[in-house]
Structure formats: structure tokens, C-alpha cells
């Protein structure tokens, strides 16, 4: 990425966006060794205002974008 360093949160957000319906196992393997604790990073992203949905068992994660929210109103 042209020398730009991504934070763990940015990497996780990019991964979930490009792999909708990924499980925690997918996140752990797909982001190793860049993101140490995906579950904690998801909490951080939610605290920053990102909407990350988890559905089913095992949970499958996806990012809900602002444009998607506007369409559902």
C-alpha cells in the first residue's frame, strides 16, 4: 500500500468489508499476524461509531455502511 501503515482497526474493517459474512475464525486466520485480537478490535470499531453486525452461530460479521442505513429508512 505505498508505504502506508494501516492500524489493526483499519485492517480489520477492510477485511470485513471485503469478506462479508466472515466468522471469527476467518478473521483470526485471515489477519494473522497483523491483528492480535479481532474481537477486541471489533469492540473498538463499534465504540468509534462503525456498525458491525453479527448474526448466526458461529457469528458472521459484516459492516453496515451509512448508505445502507439511509436506504432502509
Q: What is the pTM of this model?
A: 0.84
Q: Is 57 helix (H, G, I), strand (E, B) or coil?
A: coil
Backbone angles phi, psi at 55, to 5 degrees: -140, 150
* Residue 35 falls inside a structural domain: yes
**CATH code at 16?**
1.10.10
Query: Could you tell me the three cell numbers for 42?
Result: 471489533
pLDDT in tens, the chain (73 residues): 577 889 999 999 999 999 999 999 999 999 999 999 999 999 999 999 999 999 999 999 999 987 666 666 5
| Total domains present in the chain | 1
* Joined grid coordinates for residue 9: 482497526
Range of 38's domain? 8-72
Is residue 45 in a domain?
yes
Residue 2 domain-assigned?
Answer: no
Amino acid at each position: 500500500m505505498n508505504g502506508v501503515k494501516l492500524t489493526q482497526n483499519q485492517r480489520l474493517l477492510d477485511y470485513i468489508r471485503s469478506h462479508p459474512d466472515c466468522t471469527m475464525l476467518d478473521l483470526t486466520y485471515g489477519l494473522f499476524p497483523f491483528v492480535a485480537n479481532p474481537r477486541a478490535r471489533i469492540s473498538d470499531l463499534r465504540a468509534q461509531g462503525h456498525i458491525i453486525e453479527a448474526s448466526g452461530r458461529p457469528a458472521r460479521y459484516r459492516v453496515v455502511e451509512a448508505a445502507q442505513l439511509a436506504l432502509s429508512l
